[in-house]
Chains A and B, each alone.
Chain A
Amino acid sequence: MRLAPLFAAAALFALPACSKPAATPADGSAGMAQTDKSDKSLAEMLASDSQFKALAAGLKSTGLDGVFSGKGDYTLLAPNDAAFAALGGKAAALAAPEQQAALAAVLRAHVIPGMLTTGDIGKAIDANEGKPISMRTMGTGTVSFARTDAGFTVTSDDGASAKLAGAGLIASNGGVLPIDAVLKKF
């Protein structure tokens, strides 16, 4: 499946399409609380969400959609379409058929084992006296979550950083944390 048209289309989504915000949670993650649990799998949830067209296409073209329709639980740090659109030609190049292995490498660095919610992140930061906390990814490294006045940021080992953008989603086999940038430099 060719992604270039979808990445180009993602440019149309210049404004992040945030899911409906939930009530302000006690951990300060205003506007980023989780939605109610869905019966959909992660793959189904992403495929049906208009803000993740590019991501869903990337998962499908690399075969990683099978991971997120399976029984294992994962949390996907999900770059929205605006995040891919901001990469311009780099995203299109990454989407080329001969570069699917590179795309898979980028995407696996956005996957965290188990289910992680904004509430979990907030509690962990609180327990760490307000300092950033670290979570393993399915790449070879970790990502670091930090609290800001506007919510949470997440930063990868290579320094790529994103903001959590909108409410988290809970699927039958994990969670989705929308982010506004791609968390891997390439």
Chain B
Amino acid sequence: MRKLLSTIALAALAATALQADPGGGKGNGGGNGRGNGGGQEAPGERGGNGGGNGGGKHDGGGKHDGAGQRETDRGAGQSVGQAMREQRGNGGDAGQRGQIQRDRMQDDRGKANKNEREQGHRAGVAQGRDAGRTEWRDGTDQYRRSGDDRGNAPRSLWSGYDARGLISGCPPGLAKKNNGCLPPGQARQRGYGNYDRYDANWWGLRGLNNLSGYRYYDGNLVRLSSGGAISDYYPLLGGALAPGNPWPTGWQPTPLSPYYSDYYGLGDDYRYFDGAIYRVDPATSAIQTVAALLTGDTFAVGQRIPAGYDAYNVPYQYRDQYADGPDAAYRYNDGYVYKTDPKTQLILAAIQLLS
């Protein structure tokens, strides 16, 4: 399959890339006072508060320790430590807001990083208020989830994320055959590999909630038309998204926050898709490695720690520094250590780990 796919020129995928920004603005001077408050909800979304943060400030002279950690300790209800881009409640036309705000946030991030470099700090405490939304963004405003379901929400409840859905069209390899996107007869006879009976949860996917009627074919989940042709598809880790295969050209680069690039050692060219980060050859756009897996769990300072973090799991090299005690318990997820209150289970701070 991989050999087959490696010969495929992936082109013109309908979906744009996820603007994943785990930790964007976390300690990067993210609270910038830009929030307008009263952010607009996209149609069909669950109610969120959409409140702008405003008043965020970056304290470049904040905590700095020998290990180079950066602690983010923002107000209650803030969302941290997730592969998301933060939305700070700007109103405006929903159709254009994505690009505009992405540009702004990228600008802000750059400024903050510059300030930090100028001050000689890699660590700082960013403080501010952000009662606003957190979004997955792809420029189409589809991946939003409201502030109401942050914190404890398991991924299966992430509203709007299933809007990503399948990609309309034919998987590029099959499209090249110009046969109306009909899977080969052998594949049909074999029941598409016998894995089409499993749901998106079985596949470990976040982008296909509540999906039904798909089948597995050649490293993708696919949906068939009444005539048996593939009408939509979704590429899978280890399948269409495996080392050696070209990155779908229709998916734009997905810049993560500089912190994630540093923490996972991603280099200059990488992509995020549905819980995994891929390194990509800048010349050929072929996937080089699967660089990291992410839970995507949402941790919000002031909220209870999500389910599934009952045991101490801090990486070995940070255990001396972040040891559980009567006043603090520490948990690790997706590149961050979270300080929690052992009694209330509330998250007190998110700590970046840079050494």
Given the complex of chains A and B, what is the CA–CA distance between A112 and B314 in angstroms? 11
Size category, B interface: 35 or more
Number of A-B contacts (CB under 8 A): 168
The answer to whether A138 and B310 touch (CB under 8 A), given A73-B332, A100-B242, is no
Question: Which A residues touch B205, using CB under 8 A?
Answer: 140
Q: Give bound CA distance, A105 to B208, whole Å.
A: 14
Interface residues of B in 285-331 (CB under 8 A from A): 287-295, 297, 306-316, 331
Which residue of B has the minimal Cβ distance to A72?
B292
| B312 touching A124, Cβ below 8 Å | yes
Query: How many A residues touch the partner, as a band?
Result: 35 or more
Q: Are A66 and B289 in contact (CB under 8 A)?
A: yes
Write the nearest CB–CB distance from A50 to chain B, whole angstroms: 24
A63-B290, A66-B291, A97-B2 known; A145 and B332 CB under 8 Å? Answer: no
Determine which residue in A37, A63, A102, A135 has the highest number of CB atoms from chain B within 10 A of its CB, and name it.
A63
Q: Does B141 contact A (CB under 8 A)?
A: no
Residues of B within 8 A of A135 (CB): 308-311, 313
**Complex: A184 Cα to B335 Cα, angstroms:** 26
Convert B76-92 into 0s and 1s, putting 1 for each residue whose CB lies closer than 8 angstroms to a CB of A. Answer: 00000000000000000
Residues of A that sit less than 8 Å from B by CB: 37, 62-64, 66-67, 70-75, 93, 97-105, 108-109, 111-116, 120-121, 123-124, 128, 133-142, 145, 158, 170, 173-175, 184, 186
20 further A-B pairs in the complex, CB-CB below 8 A; given A64-B238, A72-B264:
A62-B238, A63-B238, A64-B293, A73-B316, A102-B193, A105-B236, A108-B237, A112-B313, A113-B313, A113-B332, A116-B313, A128-B310, A133-B311, A134-B307, A134-B308, A136-B307, A136-B308, A138-B294, A140-B205, A184-B202
